[in-house]
């Protein structure tokens, strides 16, 4: 009986052993995959804490591993890290894993750096320390670890090596006008600085006054911790024509100058809004430019053409990335050759713009010239302006505050904005009415009063004209003398829907196809005419109609170009292209050409008449009122014109605040001054 019980217990123990859960041993492939995943996520803290072996931690400290990885990845702009196995994953059986203590995983490492892509092969060596005291039990620490060394940071790197790089500067592309004149260039400038050892702080105030900077800003530069008191410390840069300032500065003991290459804008404020300027990359810039290879030490276009064509103008510095051995020898890792930026040639004529700016620089407003045959924009002026060199060579906080707080707002780019067209709109209303068949050019409308309304439903709202000299008003009379009531009537005859469609056929409510971003011209804030009063106002250029100066000038160019409005061009590489084809019939074009000429010979722009030229155009005065009850008397004056003898360009001028200068007549006066300059 006793033997039977023993046999029974033996059988139970045997069955229990056979049916119990089998011990599962750790798989090195799982550890390798998890390690690779954390590596590609740049989670070096977790790698060091949970994945590398104790032997690795004994040899390499947290600083050697985590901090070095993070520092080098940031300094070298490492991204797009990819680690892939170079051999298929081996299927390992559990019984093989029981005693396995070493395992290799061949990998290919690839990542981008500031010197280009680096790709190389290495081998992850995994080890599994076994608990020798309890070989028959599964230890809680039974797992695989990675044996690490610095070659996983960079190919061939050893513990005492340093990773370094040196750059070869690339040149930023230059911007040229249509005649090859540089308008944004890499040119020589003076750099004024101090040598602290030789500089007496008693002269600090004198130097600050000469350089137009604060004493504290100068002192801040030469007292930084890295400054060697025997070395030159740059303070401020100046254009070569600022020679007198530089001479006065270097007369002070310890102050000297040198000539360096920097971005210069030879035409200064003449082209300030168009060229824009460059500046140091900011944190916000880096966020927007992520993935394009910029670093905190780079410069970038901040506004104008410099910003618009940053991708083309930007030079890519050459970079050599290498490992430096303790003995000073170098092992190259990656090399990226320097690539200079592209030059850009624009349609602008810098000398023509200089003449136009010289006439208008004391005003507020905008002006342009557009070739009606090709669409080439030969000038783009915004007044007042600023000198972009000041931003590049070191504008002070005081200087910037003065610009930004100036009531005339010199930092606002006006040529990209939209404005109320005033009576220059009457050309567009005429085109719309003729095309719609609602305007009979020979029909005289009886208009006796100075203020008119359609009927009593308008309440107190009335349209006002300048003069009551004409009571039977046909198109010629209304156009020459800019009769608001005549054009308000024509707008009502067309109706809001027809007028809207006709204006849209002239480019309203669509993006202007111009390389420089422009505000879109609008019919109204809503895109519709909300009332008869708004329709009447819009027909003579008030209401909520807004148009860009390049758009408006281009439409006038369509009259000079036999009905075809050319796409406005900014780059010389662009080919002429029709934007708005046959905006009206040939008969109407001939009629409108005659009307524009009569505005100068007999109408509101007589002051533009010049011997040897046949100036044609249309004046406009825009009242800046929120409503008819608004007592604001501020006015903008416009004159859009061209020479019918030599229609090389349409000149568009819009001047703000002309209410005390003669209204649109002031714009006419300025236009005449420009035409006369062009004849000199």
pLDDT (average), residues 278-289 = 92
pLDDT tens by residue, 409-457? 999 999 999 999 999 999 999 999 999 999 999 999 999 999 999 999 9
**Which class is 26-158 in CATH?**
alpha beta
Nearest alpha-carbon partner for 369 in 387, 351, 384? 351
pLDDT at 3: 44
Rounded Cα–Cα distance for residues 598 and 617 (Å): 9
CA geometry: angle 105, 109, 111, nearest 5 deg: 160
Average pLDDT over residues 123-145: 75
Q: What residues have CB less than 8 Å from 1, skipping those under 6 apart? A: none
Least confident of 39-53, 133-147, 165-179, 591-605: 133-147
pLDDT of residue 633: 80
Report the alpha-carbon angle 310-316-320, nearest 5: 160
For the chain, the average pLDDT equals 93
Angstrom distance (rounded) from CA 233 to CA 172: 25
CB atoms within 10 A of CB 457: 9
The CATH 3.40.710.10 domain(s) of the chain lie at: 353-679
DSSP annotation of 171: P
Q: How many other C-beta atoms are found inside a 10 Å radius of the C-beta of residue 388? A: 28
Cα radius of gyration rounded to whole Å, the chain: 38
Question: For residue 133, what pLDDT is reported?
Answer: 53
Per the model's pLDDT, the better-predicted residue between 396 and 288 turns out to be: 288
Architecture of 353-679 per CATH? Answer: 3-Layer(aba) Sandwich (3.40)
Q: Is 573 exposed, middle or buried (0-12, 13-18, 19+ CB in 10 A)?
A: exposed
The more confident residue out of 394 and 509 is: 509
Structure tokens that stand for 253 in this block: 């003991």
Mean pLDDT of 336-355: 97
Can you tell me the distance from the alpha carbon of 74 to that of 291, in angstroms, rounded to the nearest whole number?
13
Q: Assign 365 to helix, strand or coil.
A: strand
pLDDT value of position 244:
96
Residue 292: the pLDDT is 85
- Take residue 285 and report the two structure tokens written for it: 């810039």
Q: Is the dihedral of CA 196, 199, 200, 202 positive or negative?
A: negative
Which helix (H) or strand (E) is 290 found in, with range?
none
Q: For residue 25, what pLDDT is reported?
A: 94
Residue with token string 């420089």: 516
CB 36 within 8 A of CB 28: no
Whether 374 shows a pLDDT value over 90: the answer reads yes
pLDDT (0 to 100) of residue 14: 41
**Can you give the pLDDT at residue 22?**
77
- The average pLDDT across 569-583 equals 98
List CB contacts of 319: < 8 A, sequence separation 6 or more: 114, 115, 116, 165, 166, 167, 168, 334, 335, 336
Task: Tell me the sheet residues that pair with 111.
Answer: 118
| β-bridge partners, 282 | none
User: Which string of b and e fits 532-564 if b means at least 16 CB within 10 Å?
Assistant: bbbbbbbbbbbbbbbbbbbbbbbbbbbbbbebb
What is the pLDDT averaged over residues 319-337? 94
**What is the arithmetic mean of pLDDT over 231-255?**
95
Under DSSP, the state recorded for 63 is I
Percent of the chain with pLDDT over 70: 94
What are the angstrom distances between the C-alpha of 457 and each of 448, 531, 533, 540?
20, 11, 10, 21
pLDDT tens, position by position, 43-63: 999 999 999 999 999 999 999
Question: pLDDT for 460-498, tens place per residue?
Answer: 999 999 999 999 999 999 999 999 999 999 999 999 999
11 pLDDT higher than 60: no
Q: What pLDDT sits at residue 12?
A: 39
Residue 72, Cβ neighbours under 10 Å: how many?
16
Write out the residue limits of the CATH 3.30.1390.30 domain(s) in the chain.
187-259
Tell me if the domain spanning 187-259 has CATH number 3.30.1390.30: yes
Query: 518 with 416: CB under 8 angstroms?
Result: yes
- The DSSP H or E segment spanning 101 is none
| Structure token digits, residue 502 | 């006709």
pLDDT at 635 over 60: yes
Between 144 and 633, the higher pLDDT residue: 144
Question: Is the model's pLDDT at 592 over the cut of 90?
Answer: yes
**Secondary structure in 3-state letters for 468-489:** CCCCEECHHHHHHCCCHHHHHH
Q: Which two tokens stand for residue 423?
A: 């009576």
Model confidence at 9, in pLDDT bands (50, 70, 90)? very low
Does 134 score more than 60 pLDDT? no
Contact 447, 486 (CB under 8 A): yes
| Residue 45: C-alpha distances to residues 30, 40, 62, 64 (Å) | 19, 13, 8, 12
Name the β-bridge partners of 325: none
Provide the annotated active-site residues: 423
Give the residue-averaged pLDDT of 645-669: 97
- Best CA proximity match to 142, nearest among 21, 20, 27: 27
Q: Give the pLDDT band of residue 291 (cuts 50, 70, 90).
A: confident
pLDDT on residue 628: 59
DSSP string, 608-660: G--TT--EEEEEEEEE--SSTT-----EEEEEEEEESSS-S-EEEEEES--TT
- Flag the least confident range among 14-23, 93-102, 309-318, 535-544: 14-23
């Amino acid at each position: 009986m006793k033997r039977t019980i023993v046999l029974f217990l033996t059988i139970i123990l045997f069955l229990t052993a056979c049916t119990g859960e089998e011990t599962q041993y750790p798989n090195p492939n799982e550890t390798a995959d998890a390690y690779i995943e954390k590596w590609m996520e740049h989670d070096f803290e977790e790698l060091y804490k949970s994945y590398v072996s104790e032997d690795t931690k004994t040899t390499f400290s947290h600083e050697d591993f985590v901090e070095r990885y993070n520092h080098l990845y940031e300094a070298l702009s490492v991204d797009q890290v990819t680690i892939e196995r170079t051999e298929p994953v081996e299927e390992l059986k559990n019984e093989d894993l029981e005693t396995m203590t070493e395992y290799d995983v061949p990998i290919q490492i690839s990542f981008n750096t500031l010197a280009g892509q680096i790709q190389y092969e290495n081998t992850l060596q995994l080890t599994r320390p076994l608990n020798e005291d309890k070989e028959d039990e599964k230890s809680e620490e039974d797992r695989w670890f990675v044996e690490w060394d610095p070659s996983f940071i960079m190919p061939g790197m050893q513990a005492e090596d340093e990773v370094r790089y040196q750059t070869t500067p690339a040149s930023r592309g230059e911007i040229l006008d249509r005649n090859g004149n540089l308008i944004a260039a890499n040119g020589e400038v003076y750099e004024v600085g101090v040598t602290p050892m030789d500089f007496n702080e008693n002269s600090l105030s004198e130097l600050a006054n000469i350089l137009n900077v604060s004493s504290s800003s100068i002192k801040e530069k030469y007292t930084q911790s890295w400054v060697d008191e025997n070395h030159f410390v740059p303070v401020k840069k100046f254009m070569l024509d600022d020679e007198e300032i530089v001479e006065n500065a270097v007369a002070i003991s310890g102050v000297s100058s040198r000539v360096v290459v920097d971005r210069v804008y030879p035409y200064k404020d003449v082209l300030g809004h168009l060229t824009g300027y460059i500046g140091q990359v900011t944190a916000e810039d880096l966020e927007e430019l992520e993935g394009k290879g910029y670093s905190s030490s780079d410069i970038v276009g901040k506004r104008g053409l410099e910003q618009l064509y940053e991708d083309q103008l930007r030079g890519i510095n050459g970079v050599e990335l290498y490992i430096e051995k303790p003995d000073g020898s170098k092992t190259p890792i990656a090399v990226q050759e320097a690539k200079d930026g592209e030059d850009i040639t624009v349609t602008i004529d810098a000398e023509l713009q200089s003449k136009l700016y010289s006439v208008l620089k004391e005003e507020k407003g905008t002006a342009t010239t557009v070739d009606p045959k090709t669409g080439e924009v030969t000038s783009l002026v915004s007044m007042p302006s600023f000198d972009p060199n000041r931003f590049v060579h070191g504008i002070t906080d005081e200087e910037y505050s003065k610009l930004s707080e100036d009531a005339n707002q010199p930092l606002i780019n006006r040529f990209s904005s939209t404005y109320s067209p005033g009576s220059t709109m009457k050309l567009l209303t005429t085109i719309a009415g003729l095309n719609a068949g609602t305007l009979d050019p020979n029909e005289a409308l009886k208009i006796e009063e100075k203020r008119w309304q359609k009927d009593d439903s308008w309440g107190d709202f009335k349209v006002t004209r300048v003069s009551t000299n004409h009571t039977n008003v046909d198109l010629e009379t209304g156009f020459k003398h800019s009769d608001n009531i005549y054009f308000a009537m024509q707008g009502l005859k067309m109706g809001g829907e027809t007028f809207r469609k006709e204006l849209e056929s002239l480019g309203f409510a669509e993006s202007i196809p111009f390389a420089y971003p422009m505000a879109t011209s609008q019919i109204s804030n809503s895109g519709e005419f909300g009332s008869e009063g708004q329709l009447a106002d819009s027909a003579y250029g008030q209401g909520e109609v807004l148009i860009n100066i390049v758009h408006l000038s281009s439409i006038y160019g369509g009259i000079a170009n036999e009905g075809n409005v050319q796409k406005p061009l900014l780059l010389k590489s662009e080919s002429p292209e029709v934007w708005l084809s046959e905006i009206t019939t040939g008969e109407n074009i001939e009629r409108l050409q005659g009307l524009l000429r009569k505005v100068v010979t007999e109408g509101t722009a007589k002051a533009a008449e010049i011997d040897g030229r046949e100036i044609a155009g249309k004046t406009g005065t825009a009242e800046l009122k929120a409503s008819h009850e608004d007592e604001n008397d501020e006015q903008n004056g416009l004159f859009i014109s061209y020479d019918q003898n030599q229609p090389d360009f349409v000149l568009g001028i819009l001047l703000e605040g002309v209410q005390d200068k003669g209204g649109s007549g002031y714009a006419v006066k300025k236009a005449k001054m420009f035409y006369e300059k062009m004849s000199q």
